[in-house]
Amino acid sequence: MTTVPIHRIHKTLRFLVTGWACVLLAACSTDRSALNAPQVLTAPASATGSEALWAVAPLANESGVMSVDTFAISDKLVAAVNEVRGLSCLPLNRTIAAMRARRLSHISSPDDARLLAETLGVDGLIVGSVTAYDPYDPPKLGLTLALFAHRPADDLSQADPLRVRGAYSDAQVRVLTRFDSRPAAVVSEHLDGSNHDVLFALRQFASGRHDPYSAHGWRIYLVSMDRYTEFAAYTAVARLIDRDRLRMATERASVDGQDPSTR
């Protein structure tokens, strides 16, 4: 029978105790309650300086997938707008009620968008469609959105009531409304969960919005289509805000008589 020297037993025990102590110390030093601030969007300052009010019309389904819940995706857009600093958004149900009151089954033209926006009394209206949808890992979601927004105040001041009253026909005058006949901003996003650029943006978006110690970590947004839709809505709204900010800067520059490209 082989006898193990007592000093080797003590050495082994010291090694095990030291190893477990290091593990316990590392676990205790990790603050699982630490919070990270997520990325937050900020809207361009409005002309009045107050918070702007937007609405989202129910999206159309142009993806070719019959099982798409366009109302659920539209709700995600509403939530994304509400998270933007400087913006608030009407609930989707209120927009649907206004469409029914105006007998609009869907928004098919700029005139429909202008009518709905003025009925709701909002500063901006998002309309669009779902262009791609695949809920399986890696998910895919395509969105095409258009933002209809206020005309500049200078355009509204050009309406002459006397000219309107004295015209022989409607074709002789251009009746101005609060909203333009074309979108202030248009974006088209195809977010493929296998694309590394998309994954990088998704990881940044997920920071501060998920439990980093969960089994999936930030990849929970890839295995849950509901969460992936949140990311897609955030990305599309961010692009719309960037385009709208550029539009407003261009309008201000034109009023000041400056070339926006030189600013």
Q: For all residues of the chain together, what is the average pLDDT?
A: 79
How many other C-beta atoms can be found within 10 angstroms of the C-beta atom of residue 174? 10
The DSSP string of 232-255 is HHHHHHHHHHHHHHHHHHHHHHHH
Q: How many CB atoms within 10 Å of residue 195?
A: 14
Q: What is the pTM of this model?
A: 0.74
Helix (H) or strand (E) holding 187, with range, is strand 185-192
225-256 vs 196-206: helix crossing angle, rounded to 10: 90
Q: How many CB atoms lie within 10 A of CB 200?
A: 10
On whether the CB atoms of residues 148 and 178 are closer than 8 A, the answer is no
- So what's the pLDDT on residue 39? 78
Peptide bond into 161 cis (omega under 30): no
Q: Is 86 left (phi over 0), alpha (psi -120 to 50) or beta?
A: left
Specify whether the CB–CB gap between 210 and 219 falls below 8 A.
Answer: no
| Nearest of 211, 202, 212 to residue 233 by alpha carbon | 202
Tell me the C-alpha distance between 52 and 86, whole Å: 6
Q: For the segment 211-231, what is each residue's pLDDT rounded down to a tens digit?
A: 777 777 888 989 999 999 999
Predicted confidence at residue 113, as pLDDT, reads 93
pLDDT of residue 10: 55
Q: State residue 215's pLDDT score.
A: 78
Exposed e or buried b per residue across 228-238, where buried means at least 16 C-beta atoms within 10 angstroms of its C-beta: bbbbbbbbbbb
52-77 pLDDT per residue, tens = 899 999 999 999 999 999 999 999 99
Higher pLDDT, 146 or 210: 146
The class of domain 47-154+168-251 in CATH terms is alpha beta
Please answer whether residues 109 and 65 qualify as being in contact, where contact means their C-beta atoms are separated by less than 8 angstroms: no
DSSP per-residue codes, 30-60 = S-TT---PPP--BPPPPSSSSPEEEEEPPPE
**66 C-beta neighbours (distance < 10 Å), count:** 7
Report pLDDT digits (tens) over 233-260.
999 999 999 988 887 787 777 766 665 5
Contact present, 201 and 39 (Cβ < 8 Å): no
